[in-house]
Structure 1
Amino acid sequence: MRFLPTPRSTLVVLLIPFALLGGLVPAPAADGDPARSVDTHEATGGGSTAPEGGLVDDGWLPGPEGSAFAGFEGEPAPGGGPVWPGVRLDARRTTLSDGKNVDVQILHLDPGADVSVRPTLAGGSVRGTATVAAQSGDPLAGSVAATNGGFWLRDPYGEPNGFFAIDGRLVSDAESQGVGPRGTVGWTADGRVVIDRIDTTQTLVLANGANLDVDGINRGHREYDELFADGIDSLLAYTPDHGGPVAVTEPRQPPPPEPEPTPAPTDPDQPAPPPLPGAEPEQPPVDLAVLRIAAGAWPAAGGIGGTVIGISRDSAGTFEAGGGEVIVVATGADAGALDGVEVGDQVGLSTTSTALDPTRDEAWAQVLHGLAGGPMIVKDSRPTDPGDWVSEGFEPQIHSDVRAPRTAIGVTADGRLLMVTADGRRPGITHGFTIGELAEYMISLGAVEALSLDGGGSSQMVVDGVLRNSPCCDSAIRTVATSLQVVHDYSFTTTSRLQGAGRIDTAVAIARAAHPSGSSTAVLAVSSSFPDALAGGPLAAALGGPLLLTGTSSVPAQTVQALRDLGVSSVRLLGGEAVIAPEVVTQLEAAGFAVSRLAGDSRFDTAAVMARAVQSAGGGDGPSRAFLVPAFTFPDALIAAGPGGLLGMPVLLTQPAELHPAAADVLRGVDEVVVIDSDGQLSAAVTDQLRALGVVVTRLGGGGRYATSGAVNDWLAQQMTLSAEVIVARGDDFPDALAGGPLAAARQGRLMLVPSMTLDTDPATAAWFASNAGSIGAMRILGGPVAVSSYTQWQLDRLATG
């Protein structure tokens, strides 16, 4: 991405005496009622033309009287964690000039980052809204970060308010609810980023050389009593991006003016004159024409040719643009201008963008993607004139001078792209910015140009498909019409994922992958805590079944369905009734499963019970080897789960200072105890007590959980021949790795714990993968990008492929 610098330009501001829209408040109709839905050729299921989104529809807090711009000169240098190579997220708290705080999220995109920023429509068309996370889709498809986009209208509901283009297709033409053009950001074919205030002119060129201006793209006809009405003579175009049918009804003339009232009689005894005879005057008909044109799209810039493939004159109906088609609806004089058009005629469709700064016209003539926001807040490293914000349609008392959640996009002199959200409307926690404060803040981050986008509850920062900010006081995440998605096109070759919507669904996905032919037995552990579940991995492997997760008092429907699909008949619960309530047993038995429980008086006793169950499943008198791990943290037990399942070694728990009696009771007669102690918790007394039992002690660990995970896998490779598959799970939480131990055992592979956000957290992890790259044929990551980030997956993929 490259930033296109331009000189500063000025704008003469004209004040207009009517309510502005701009995504702020519904515009009143002339009679005082809310603006009515149009009925000439509206989108099916239409509404008013008042925009949605905005900043004042769910409460706001005004800034202090006379507050100065915030002093952001000391704002820290860009930091944060990686999202993708060349992309990082910096979440911080900044302080305003009056001492109030604002929580800010800053996405930095380096000039050389191998990503693109793409405007996205909710649902893939102009009709409807969705959260930014929903618009991101599956992060595996390439979207690693996103913010909300611009404002939108209600006819059709979700239609972008202003310029919107994707892949060279014009989805919505530029328009403004002010006297001047609206601030817009665009991306050119050669990767330049351009921010300016623009107008667009759309032209239909007929075969006879006539040029007809097109009033709008993919929006409904605006009635006569609405602001910015289209009137009788109008020409609108619809493309497949409209996403639905256009109901074209017979157009009507505007209503005649009200007659002058009859003067009251001067003589109170004189009767009022009778009404004048005759009916209301008949309104003349209005011409109507609908053209169907074969054309790839309406171009975002420049012109293309098309062929007329259908004509409908003076006939209402429902029309929809199919793939490779454009529908043109003309009324009044514009319909009359189409009288000579015939099927087979060659026509032209063109778009010309005019920037307020004429040096920008060349760039806008090459724009492929873009969307309008507003107002434009920074130019040449200086805040723009607040009068310009009014010209764009943003009134001070409604939008600019109140503190609220905000979203902005900007570019720096060195070519970085900034995508920023600020939380607000939470007194005492985070207050948001005024537009002036937002401008100053963007400048403090190095922005030489910046554009405000939709704000309020619409302000959303999403990374790896998850909302990373708290916009404001909304009880639910706001749905929006558009977003800006940061997308990569990297193809993962060695890594893949087993994931679900959460830990329970992920465990189900793991179980299905581990046992494609089904299993008669399954182990069930509670999803919310680890103590009684830690020793369950080797048990599940010894039984040849999966480990699935349950709630404390009820079994999730997806777990029950997985048990049925796998053909499970016997379920073993891990833990006592305080961990898994009797209601779970009742529910499982009612579903037809035989249920037993493995539990002791404590986590130590429960682990001992499971160890004896592993012994029983193995058919021997007792295990020859066992693992011993600290009881009060989960990583070491998770590290042992895969090897324990492969080698038939149970996992026992102990206190750090001394060997627990329950563990000692099982370990009498065991030949070898492998102690896994990543953080050096277990004292020398524990080792001495083990040796006093007559067992050989092997210690693995030290240097943290990730280095220990690698050391245990290296030890395992010396014990048996392993497959080339590595199962990867996050090391800072337990459920995915808990279910992954039996999977690793089923695949005869290694289970490796990794940092969630980046391997850079622990260099030993990257070193292990690099040194073992030759023996890794595939990696299966457990959980989605929330568990193991897209960036970590990229690192793993690159390490495995050298």
Structure 2
Amino acid sequence: MSRRLIVGLSAATTLVVAAVPAASASPASVSFPSGKFPLGNRVTPARTQMAVAPGIDLFRVKQGKATEGYTVTVLMPNGNAEGSVAAAQAKAAEVEAAGLGLVPSVQTFVRPAVADDPAREYATVRVGLWTLKQKAKADKVVKQLKEAGIRAKTDYLGDDGFETTGPWDMRVLMVDPRVFRGSYAATLGKSVAKRETTSSMAKLAKGVAAINGGFFNIHTAKNLQGDPTGISVVRGKLLSEAVEGRSAVILKGRSARITELSSTVTAVSGAGARTPVQGVNRAALPDELVAYTEEFGQKTAADGGTEVVVDAASGIILRTRAAGAAVPRGTWVLHGTGVAAEWLAAYATDGGKLTLQTRVIDLRTGKAVPLTPDTHVMGGGVGLVRNGKVHINAKVNGHASVNMVLRRHPRTLLGVTKSGGLILATVDGRKPGITVGASMTEAAQLMRWLGAKQAISLDGGGSTAMVVRGKVVNMPSDGSERAVGDALVILPR
């Protein structure tokens, strides 16, 4: 049999955002909504509230119950759970031909359109249906298929991203900057290259609360996997370059602003020769110039390239060296291979001067972002809400797949209200019968419900973590806190 499912947020969907109640003196800039939960059966959710500090409240929100069970998903030749209708039909025929007595079904569905990518149709092959307590029976079928040479996996139907009754389990931090007297900051912990837990970074920064940050590069050398896959600015210093057009949050004092950014770094010799620097604190590709700051925390790659060591205060080139050493304190290093090394040999000689000119551009306004000591930028996420409307720019952020847009995962979310209040939320998931997580569309609905006029999704899945006063308050899906690339911390001052 086959079925067709159209899922996602329709143009006719109306979301209700609770009005901020008035106060006799200074009205709150952020408050928990009184409206019904925007997912599932749309009723008022159960919630608890705890005061964390003046102007900071923590809420736990629970809603819905489990009604779905398990199925078996047959994997496509590329290893994905979905593919073309023709590929799915071929897989279904393969299951039937295996002679196991299994009856496969081809199910077609649509990954909904996002702001920068149209809707796309896919198909998947499913075998069987079992209750929440019958997972072992689904596992047995997966084993049978494997023995027949067919790859498959046990799939919880609540993860699909189709209609569900939940349940959902969220933690929400709301910060009212009119009462809160501290500040917000981004941190990469002890170094750019090293991954650390959100709680360890919060402790190092002496933060009262924190959430995990953006995506980090798991496709590089193991000792460099803390490198953010997008822009990072800490205390006004660019520590990772932007991927142009990707969403980011700019933090300054106790203000937060979501936008899209680009960055440029230019090396300028004492004689005025100029050349682009392609990267900051990451692995270098052939013929690239990459700058390494003392925050990098690892030796540069011994790739046969050339490096110059530059005094950070004066810009004087202290020495030229072969690639493959640490960045001395108080310096920065410019690393080049191929034609980039030739530029260094021609224009960056010992005793000369070399400076880096750094610009970060807000693509919404076209203006440069002042990189002052109290400026922090965290990137590596997907925009969800823009000017109060759902606006998911998944493609430019590299996350327009079915798995990232449609399927439910744990999510870490950040939003800003019309009057400047900050909303940080985690939606736990991957816990069948306990909490299902959220699709990107559902994450956008949740942030609108919470009152966000601008919102972004940060890294999720096993990375999702919220820390309050030194303790992880959500339920990381790995069973324990995952080491990540960066974090947003709320500082008491």
User: Same fold, TM exceeding 0.5?
Assistant: yes
In structure 2, relative to structure 1, the CA distance for the partners of 1:98 and 1:247 (3 Å cut) is: closer
Deviations 1:40-73 (A, max 9, x none): xxxxxxxxxxxxxxxxxxxxxxxx8525479763
Matches within 5 A, 1:235-634: 235-250=289-304, 288-296=305-313, 306-312=315-321, 316-338=322-344, 339-359=346-366, 361-363=367-369, 366=372, 368-384=375-391, 386=392, 388-472=393-477, 474-489=478-493
Deviations 1:449-482 (A, max 9, x none): 111100011111111111111133x233222221
Are the aligned partners of 1:320 and 1:327 in contact in 2 as well (CA < 8 Å)? no
Q: Say whether residues 1:181 and 2:245 are aligned partners.
A: yes
In structure 2, relative to structure 1, the CA distance for the partners of 1:74 and 1:418 (3 Å cut) is: closer
- 1:724 corresponding residue in structure 2: none
Aligned letter for 2:283? Answer: G
Aligned letter for 1:161? Answer: T
Are the aligned partners of 1:168 and 1:368 in contact in 2 as well (CA < 8 Å)? yes
- 2:141 corresponding residue in structure 1: none
Q: Say whether residues 1:194 and 2:257 are aligned partners.
A: yes
The CA deviation at 1:370 is 1.3
Deviations 1:264-293 (A, max 9, x none): xxxxxxxxxxxxxxxxxxxxxxxx431110
- 1:208 corresponding residue in structure 2: 271
Separation of aligned partners in 1, 2:16 and 2:167 = 15
Out of 196, 201, 210, the position equivalent to 1:130 is: 196
In structure 2, relative to structure 1, the CA distance for the partners of 1:151 and 1:319 (3 Å cut) is: same
Are the aligned partners of 1:422 and 1:471 in contact in 2 as well (CA < 8 Å)? no
Separation of aligned partners in 1, 2:351 and 2:198 = 43
In structure 2, relative to structure 1, the CA distance for the partners of 1:351 and 1:321 (3 Å cut) is: same
TM-score (norm 2): 0.68
- 1:102 corresponding residue in structure 2: 168
In structure 2, relative to structure 1, the CA distance for the partners of 1:208 and 1:333 (3 Å cut) is: same
In structure 2, relative to structure 1, the CA distance for the partners of 1:95 and 1:447 (3 Å cut) is: farther
Are the aligned partners of 1:214 and 1:237 in contact in 2 as well (CA < 8 Å)? yes
- 2:157 corresponding residue in structure 1: none
Task: Classify the secondary structure of the residue corresponding to 1:350.
Answer: strand
Separation of aligned partners in 2, 1:237 and 1:478 = 28
- 1:115 corresponding residue in structure 2: 182
Separation of aligned partners in 2, 1:317 and 1:293 = 14
Are the aligned partners of 2:276 and 2:289 in contact in 1 as well (CA < 8 Å)? yes
Deviations 1:379-408 (A, max 9, x none): 101111x4x311221123121111111001
Out of 150, 165, 169, the position equivalent to 2:237 is: 169
Percent identity over paired residues: 30
Separation of aligned partners in 1, 2:277 and 2:17 = 49
Aligned letter for 1:353? Answer: V
Task: Classify the secondary structure of the residue corresponding to 1:390.
Answer: coil
Separation of aligned partners in 2, 1:334 and 1:481 = 28
The CA deviation at 1:184 is 0.8
Deviations 1:287-325 (A, max 9, x none): x431110015xxxxxxxx61111123xxx4532212210
Larger Rg: 1
Task: Classify the secondary structure of the residue corresponding to 2:265.
Answer: strand
Task: Classify the secondary structure of the residue corresponding to 2:476.
Answer: coil
Separation of aligned partners in 2, 1:100 and 1:317 = 53
The CA deviation at 1:128 is 2.3
Separation of aligned partners in 1, 2:395 and 2:412 = 19
The CA deviation at 1:94 is 3.9
- 2:135 corresponding residue in structure 1: none
Are the aligned partners of 2:361 and 2:368 in contact in 1 as well (CA < 8 Å)? no
Are the aligned partners of 2:359 and 2:368 in contact in 1 as well (CA < 8 Å)? no
Aligned letter for 1:106? Answer: V
Aligned letter for 2:62? Answer: R
Separation of aligned partners in 1, 2:303 and 2:369 = 40
Task: Classify the secondary structure of the residue corresponding to 1:349.
Answer: strand
Deviations 1:79-127 (A, max 9, x none): 82211111110111245974322111111111231121221224x1023
In structure 2, relative to structure 1, the CA distance for the partners of 1:402 and 1:336 (3 Å cut) is: same
Separation of aligned partners in 2, 1:87 and 1:206 = 48
| More helix by percentage | 1
Are the aligned partners of 1:237 and 1:327 in contact in 2 as well (CA < 8 Å)? yes
The CA deviation at 1:244 is 2.1
Separation of aligned partners in 2, 1:193 and 1:408 = 13
The CA deviation at 1:374 is 1.6
Which sections of structure 2, spanning at least 5 residues, go unmatched? 19-31, 35-47, 66-162
- 1:147 corresponding residue in structure 2: 211
Task: Classify the secondary structure of the residue corresponding to 2:298.
Answer: coil
Task: Classify the secondary structure of the residue corresponding to 2:395.
Answer: helix
Deviations 1:304-353 (A, max 9, x none): x61111123xxx45322122100111122222222143222222212111
Separation of aligned partners in 2, 1:307 and 1:335 = 18
Aligned letter for 1:142? Answer: K
Aligned letter for 2:292? Answer: Y
In structure 2, relative to structure 1, the CA distance for the partners of 1:382 and 1:450 (3 Å cut) is: same
Deviations 1:182-211 (A, max 9, x none): 1111124x6542211111111111112121
Separation of aligned partners in 2, 1:185 and 1:242 = 22
Separation of aligned partners in 2, 1:65 and 1:365 = 45
Separation of aligned partners in 2, 1:401 and 1:484 = 26
In structure 2, relative to structure 1, the CA distance for the partners of 1:236 and 1:71 (3 Å cut) is: same
Separation of aligned partners in 2, 1:125 and 1:329 = 18
Are the aligned partners of 1:126 and 1:243 in contact in 2 as well (CA < 8 Å)? yes
In structure 2, relative to structure 1, the CA distance for the partners of 1:364 and 1:424 (3 Å cut) is: farther
Superposition RMSD in Å: 2.4
Matches within 5 A, 1:649-798: none
Task: Classify the secondary structure of the residue corresponding to 2:340.
Answer: helix
Separation of aligned partners in 2, 1:84 and 1:410 = 19
Out of 89, 108, 111, the position equivalent to 2:58 is: 89
Task: Classify the secondary structure of the residue corresponding to 2:227.
Answer: strand
| More strand by percentage | 2
Aligned letter for 1:126? Answer: V
Are the aligned partners of 2:465 and 2:476 in contact in 1 as well (CA < 8 Å)? yes
The CA deviation at 1:376 is 1.1
Deviations 1:698-740 (A, max 9, x none): xxxxxxxxxxxxxxxxxxxxxxxxxxxxxxxxxxxxxxxxxxx
Q: Say whether residues 1:77 and 2:33 are aligned partners.
A: yes
- 1:682 corresponding residue in structure 2: none
Separation of aligned partners in 2, 1:340 and 1:132 = 42
Separation of aligned partners in 1, 2:265 and 2:347 = 21
Higher relative contact order (CA 8 A, sep 6+): 2
Separation of aligned partners in 1, 2:468 and 2:208 = 6
Task: Classify the secondary structure of the residue corresponding to 1:402.
Answer: coil
Which sections of structure 1, spanning at least 5 residues, go unmatched? 1-63, 222-229, 251-287, 297-304, 490-802
The CA deviation at 1:365 is 5.1
Separation of aligned partners in 1, 2:427 and 2:260 = 23
